[in-house]
């Protein structure tokens, strides 16, 4: 609700002054009679005060409604049309068993998913997809603007969903292939891993060349600390168990992938550093959004003006009814 011409409300001031003038005590008019005996025998009209104030009340409310009608109350809504193209972003998440290491709390994967979820919530007008990988790379969610659905797919990604291993080349190739037909002005892959490439049919640097050939920039993130940590692995019979393992991150390879595609390498050894990395990528890859706003409003002045006219008509008719007032 809004008022299109709110300055008409200034007319309320003389209306209030008029009310004050009407209610201010003043000398009451009188009529001379030789005798009032006849008048005192007339039946008493219990609504005399109503009759005396009814004309003024009707007129005051009518004027008040007319002033509000002049202010033109409106209801409506606005529409937003985004006329700029966003960025296509393919998030690539490692689901190998080493992502269960607890150097990040509660573990590497849970910490990464929480940060990625916040990254998704901070984007506007960008298509975002998700590739998950371990021994193989798969598209968990294609490029989409439906961020709640993407968040659901992210939440459903867990260790054991794919055969164990770390196929970095397959991950990059799968993500780049998803964006080869994109018309976005900028296309990026954010690759998060904590290991060394040890599986997959495509060499990581070959995958990087594929990404560069379709103008895809790759940001690489090495997450976790190198050393001995507890992680969950699948034992005989599919029973999960906790073991101590030596974790390694191939920083050299991740740097080469990023450099060859025009991206950047980041290292995250704790939750705070990981959040800062996604924050920096968010700042580096921003779109200038051009927006056109359209507003549509419906006037409601008639719903005030019609009752005001009816009240003024009632005031004119009032003296012809039992509410007439005699001095």
pLDDT at 293: 62
Average pLDDT of 200-218? 95
List of residues 6+ apart from 56 with CB closer than 8 A: 22
What is the CB-side half-sphere exposure of residue 321 using CA atoms within 13 A? 11
Average pLDDT of 168-172? 96
Q: What are phi and psi of 208, to 5 degrees?
A: -65, -40
Average pLDDT of 21-39? 58
Greater pLDDT, 83 or 171: 171
Greater pLDDT, 85 or 136: 136
Distance CA(12)–CA(290), nearest Å, equals 42
pLDDT at 156 > cutoff 90: yes
Residues β-bridged to residue 75: 298
- 215 Ramachandran zone, left/alpha/beta (phi>0; psi -120 to 50): left
From the CB of residue 124, how many other CB atoms can be counted at a distance below 10 Å?
Answer: 12
- List the domain boundaries for the chain: 55-79+299-319, 84-284
pLDDT at 246: 72
pLDDT range class, residue 77, cuts 50, 70, 90: low
Average pLDDT score, the chain = 82
Closest to 172 (Cα-Cα) out of 110, 257, 236, 106: 257
pLDDT range class, residue 61, cuts 50, 70, 90: confident
pLDDT at 233: 63
Q: Which fold has domain 84-284?
A: Rossmann fold (3.40.50)
Structure tokens at 282: 């968010």
pLDDT range class, residue 178, cuts 50, 70, 90: very high
pLDDT at 320 > cutoff 80: no
The 8-class DSSP code of residue 150 comes to H
Average pLDDT of 273-283? 92
């Amino acid at each position: 609700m809004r008022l299109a011409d709110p300055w008409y409300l200034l007319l309320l001031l003389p209306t209030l002054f008029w009310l004050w003038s009407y209610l201010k005590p003043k000398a009451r008019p009188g009529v001379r009679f030789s005798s009032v005996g006849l008048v005192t025998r007339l039946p008493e009209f219990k609504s005399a005060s109503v009759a005396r104030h009814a004309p003024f009340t009707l007129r005051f409310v009518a004027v008040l409604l007319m002033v509000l009608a002049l202010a033109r109350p409106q209801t409506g809504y606005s529409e937003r049309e985004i006329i700029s193209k966003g960025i296509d972003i393919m998030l690539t998440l490692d689901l190998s068993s080493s992502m269960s290491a607890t150097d990040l709390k509660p573990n590497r994967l849970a910490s990464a998913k929480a940060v990625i979820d916040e990254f998704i919530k901070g984007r506007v007008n960008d298509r975002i997809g998700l590739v998950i990988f371990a021994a193989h790379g798969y598209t968990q969610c294609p490029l989409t603007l439906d961020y709640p659905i993407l968040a659901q797919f992210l939440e459903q990604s867990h260790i054991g969903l794919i055969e164990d291993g770390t196929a970095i080349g397959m991950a990059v190739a799968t993500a780049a292939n998803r964006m080869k037909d994109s018309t976005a002005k900028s296309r990026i892959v954010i690759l998060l891993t904590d290991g060394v490439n040890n599986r997959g049919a495509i060499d990581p640097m070959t995958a990087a060349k594929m990404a560069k050939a379709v103008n895809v920039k790759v940001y690489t993130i090495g997450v976790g600390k190198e050393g001995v940590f507890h992680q969950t692995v699948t034992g005989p019979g599919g029973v999960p168990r906790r073991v101590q393992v030596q974790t390694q991150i191939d920083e050299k390879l991740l740097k080469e992938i990023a450099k060859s595609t025009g991206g950047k390498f980041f290292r995250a050894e704790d939750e705070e550093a990981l959040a800062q990395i996604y924050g920096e990528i968010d700042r580096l890859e921003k779109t200038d959004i051009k927006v056109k706003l359209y507003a549509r409003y419906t006037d409601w002045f008639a719903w005030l003006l019609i009752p005001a006219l009816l009240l003024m008509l009632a005031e004119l008719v009032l003296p012809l009814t039992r509410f007439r007032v005699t001095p």
